[in-house]
C-alpha cells in the first residue's frame, strides 16, 4: 500500500494534490511520501519479528537526509557503501552500532572514519581489504568486527547488472577462500571475524534464490564448524513497477525465517528498494509535443540525468498524468516520453498509452523513490532537481534544486589560460 492515489481526478501524495506542490516547486522534482516509507519499513519489522533482526536500510537506494532520518527515527539501522554515506548517516543521527559498511573498494580514510565512529562491522570483500582493515585497526589500537562477504554463486532472475551473487562478479569471496580466511584468524589480531554476509542482487521477486543462498551459506558454516555471531542475508527484495508480482514481506519472512531461526545466529537485513522504491515519484512537466511520421513524442523537462534506470536497465516505470478528465480514456494515444538530453537513450518511457497531453501538463513517473536522485548526474550541465517530502497535509523541500553556480563550485581556470 502506498499513499499515491487519485481523488476527483487529481493525483495526491498523502493529503496533498501534486499539482499544488508543482505551483511552488519547479519541475522536475522528486516527491516522497513519509507514510509509505515508514509503512514499508514497519511491514518488514513486523514480518520478521520472530527473529528480531537488525533492519539496515540500504542508503544507496535513497540517501536523502530526510528519508534516512525518517527511517532512523523509527528504529532502522543503515547499510552504507562509502565515506559519503557514512557522513550522511552521522548527520541523520544513526546509532553507530546499527551501521554495517559494505562495498568492494573502501579507501583508507573511509575505513578510518568508520572505525572512529564505532560502526557495528565491516562487510569485507577481499583478502586485501582484510589486511587493510587490520592495519588501520592496529594503528587505532582497537578490535574491529568484520563479516566476510560470501559469493554463493546463486543466479537470481533479475537484470545482469544488478545480479551480484553469481560467480564471476566482483562481489564477495568463494567458499574455499572464506574457509581459508577463518582458518587463519590469527593473521588478524585486531579483527573479530564474527559474521558472514551474502547479497545476491536487486529487484528479486521470488524467495527461491534467497533460500538457496541462505542454505548454501549455513551448510558451509556447519560443515566446516565455523563459529560466527551474525548472518547478514543482504537485501534485494523486488517491488512492482509494471506487471511484476513481487513477494510480500510476510511471504518472504515465512519462507526464510525457519532457516534463519534454526541457525541461532543474529540476523541482519539490508532492504533498500523494498522500503524506498514506491515511496517516491518523479514529477516532470511536458515542455513540447512533437509528432513525426512514425510516432508522437512528449518532451519533458526531466531526463536520463535525473532518472537513469530506463536508459541503463531498460527499466519500466509507470507514467501517469497527475490530472485527468472524465473522458481521458477516449482521447488516449501512444507516445514516447523523452527528456532534453542529447542522447537517443534519453527516455523515461516508450510506447505508452496516455491521454492526449499538451504543453504544461504534469506527469508522475511512479516507483522513483529508489535509485532516482542517488543515480542522478549533471550531464549536459543540468542542475539536479529538488527533493520534496510530504507528511500528511504538509510538504517540505528537503533538498533545494541546484543552481548554475552549484555546477561550477570548486572549479577554477588555470592562470595559464587567462
| Residues carrying an active site annotation | 342
Residues 6+ apart with CB under 8 A from 136: 108, 111, 112, 115
Task: Supply the DSSP string of 333-394, one letter for each residue.
Answer: EEEEEE-SSSSTT-EEEEEEEEE---TT-EEEESS-SSSSGGG---GGG----EEEEEETTE
- In 3-state terms the chain splits into helix, strand, coil percentages (rounded to 5) of 35, 25, 40
Distance CA 8, CA 377 (A): 36
Report residue 300 as a C-alpha cell.
519533458
Strand partners, 239: none
Distance CA 146, CA 130 (A): 8
Task: Tell me the three state secondary structure of residue 66.
Answer: helix
DSSP state, 47? H
Can you give the length of the chain in residues?
Answer: 418
* Helical H segments across 236-328, by residue range: 249-263, 273-276, 309-313
Residue (of 203, 258, 194) closest to 232 by Cα position: 194
Distance CA 226, CA 57 (A): 27
Amino acid at each position: 500500500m502506498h499513499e499515491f492515489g487519485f481523488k476527483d481526478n487529481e493525483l495526491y501524495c498523502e493529503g496533498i494534490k501534486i499539482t499544488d506542490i508543482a505551483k511552488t516547486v519547479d519541475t522536475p522534482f522528486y516527491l516522497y511520501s513519509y507514510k509509505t516509507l515508514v509503512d514499508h519499513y514497519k511491514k518488514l519489522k513486523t514480518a520478521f519479528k520472530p527473529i528480531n533482526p537488525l533492519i539496515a536500510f540500504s542508503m544507496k537506494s535513497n540517501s536523502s537526509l530526510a528519508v534516512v532520518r525518517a527511517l532512523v527515527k523509527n528504529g532502522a539501522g543503515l547499510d552504507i557503501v562509502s565515506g559519503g554515506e557514512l557522513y550522511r548517516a552521522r548527520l541523520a543521527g544513526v546509532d553507530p552500532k546499527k551501521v554495517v559498511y559494505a562495498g568492494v573498494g573502501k579507501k583508507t580514510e573511509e575505513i578510518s572514519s568508520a572505525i572512529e565512529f564505532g560502526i557495528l562491522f565491516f562487510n569485507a570483500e577481499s583478502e586485501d581489504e582484510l589486511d587493510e582493515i587490520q592495519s588501520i585497526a592496529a594503528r587505532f589500537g582497537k578490535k574491529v568486527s568484520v563479516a566476510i562477504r560470501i559469493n554463493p554463486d546463486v543466479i537470481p532472475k533479475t537484470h545482469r547488472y544488478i545480479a551480484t551473487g553469481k560467480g564471476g562478479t566482483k562481489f564477495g569471496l568463494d567458499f574455499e577462500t572464506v574457509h581459508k580466511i577463518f582458518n587463519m584468524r590469527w593473521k588478524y589480531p585486531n579483527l573479530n571475524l564474527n559474521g558472514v554476509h551474502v547479497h545476491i542482487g536487486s529487484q528479486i521477486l521470488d524467495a527461491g534464490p534467497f533460500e538457496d543462498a541462505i542454505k548454501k551459506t549455513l551448510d558451509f558454516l556447519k560443515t566446516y564448524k565455523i563459529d560466527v555471531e551474525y548472518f547478514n542475508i543482504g537485501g534485494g527484495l523486488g517491488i512492482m513497477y509494471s506487471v511484476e508480482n513481487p513477494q510480500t514481506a510476510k511471504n518472504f519472512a515465512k519462507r526464510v525465517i525457519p532457516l534463519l531461526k534454526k541457525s541461532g545466529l543474529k540476523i541482519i537485513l539490508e532492504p533498500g528498494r523494498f522500503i524506498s522504491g514506491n515511496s517516491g515519484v518523479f514529477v516532470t512537466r511536458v515542455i513540447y509535443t512533437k509528432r513525426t511520421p512514425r510516432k508522437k513524442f512528449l518532451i519533458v523537462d526531466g531526463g536520463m540525468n535525473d532518472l537513469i534506470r530506463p536508459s541503463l536497465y531498460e527499466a519500466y516505470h509507470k507514467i501517469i498524468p497527475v490530472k485527468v478528465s472524465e473522458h481521458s480514456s477516449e482521447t488516449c494515444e501512444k507516445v514516447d516520453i523523452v527528456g532534453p538530453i542529447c542522447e537517443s537513450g534519453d527516455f523515461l518511457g516508450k510506447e505508452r498509452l496516455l491521454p492526449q497531453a499538451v504543453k504544461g501538463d504534469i506527469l508522475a513517473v511512479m516507483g522513483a523513490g529508489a535509485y532516482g536522485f542517488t543515480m542522478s548526474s549533471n550531464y549536459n550541465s543540468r542542475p539536479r532537481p529538488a527533493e520534496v517530502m510530504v507528511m500528511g497535509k504538509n510538504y517540505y523541500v528537503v533538498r533545494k534544486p541546484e543552481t548554475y553556480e552549484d555546477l561550477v563550485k570548486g572549479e577554477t581556470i588555470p592562470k595559464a589560460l587567462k
